[in-house]
Structure 1
C-alpha cells in the first residue's frame, strides 16, 4: 500500500504566505523550495501565482483571492435563486391547474 494519503494537507495562510515569500526571494527554483518545505511543487506554484495576482502582478484578467471568493459567493446565490424560481414555477403550475377544475 502506498504511504501517500488520499487526503490533501491543509496549510495555514501564514505558512503559505511565508512559503511564497521564500520562493520569490530565493535563488532556488520553486520545485527546490517546495521540496525543502515538504509541499508539492504544484501547490507552491499555485500559491505563488495567486500571490502575484493579488499584488496586481499576475497575467491580465487574473482574479484576486477576494474576487474569486466573491465569484464563488455570487454563483452560490445564483444557484439558490434558480432553485427557488423552479419551485415557484412548479407551485404556480399546480395552483393554476387546481383553479381550472
Structure 2
C-alpha cells in the first residue's frame, strides 16, 4: 500500500544530499535546511524530515533505520497473520472436540 509521493525521487535525493553536505560544514550548518528548501521550492519541514531520515540511515544520528523499520513492519504483519491462523486452529479444534463429545446414535 504505497502513498502517492508529491516530489520526485530525484529531487528528494538531490535536496537531501545538498542539505546534509551543508550541515556537515560548521560555517553553513545553521539554516542549511531552510536555505535548500527555499531554493528548491520544498516545504522546510518536509526537507527536515528527509534529512533526519538520511542521517539516521547513515548512522550519524541515533534512531531506527529504514531497513530496520521495514523489517519490523514485516515481522508485525507476519505476527498478526500467525495469531489469526492460531485463533482459527483453536476454534476448529474446539469445534471438532465438541463433535467427538456428543453421543452418537
Same fold (TM over 0.5): yes
- After superposition, the CA RMSD in angstroms is 2.0
Within 5 Å, give how 1:1-101 maps onto structure 2: 9-26=5-22, 27=28, 28-59=31-62, 62-101=63-102
* TM-score normalised per structure 2: 0.74
* TM-score normalised per structure 1: 0.77
Match of 1:3 in 2: none
Moved more, 13-22 or 71-80: 13-22
Task: Identify unmatched segments of 5+ residues in structure 2.
Answer: 23-27
Q: Distance in 1 between matches of 2:43 and 2:4?
A: 10
What SS does the corresponding residue of 1:81 show, helix, strand or coil?
helix
The alpha carbon displacement at 1:71 in A equals 0.8
The alpha carbon displacement at 1:44 in A equals 1.1
The alpha carbon displacement at 1:15 in A equals 2.4
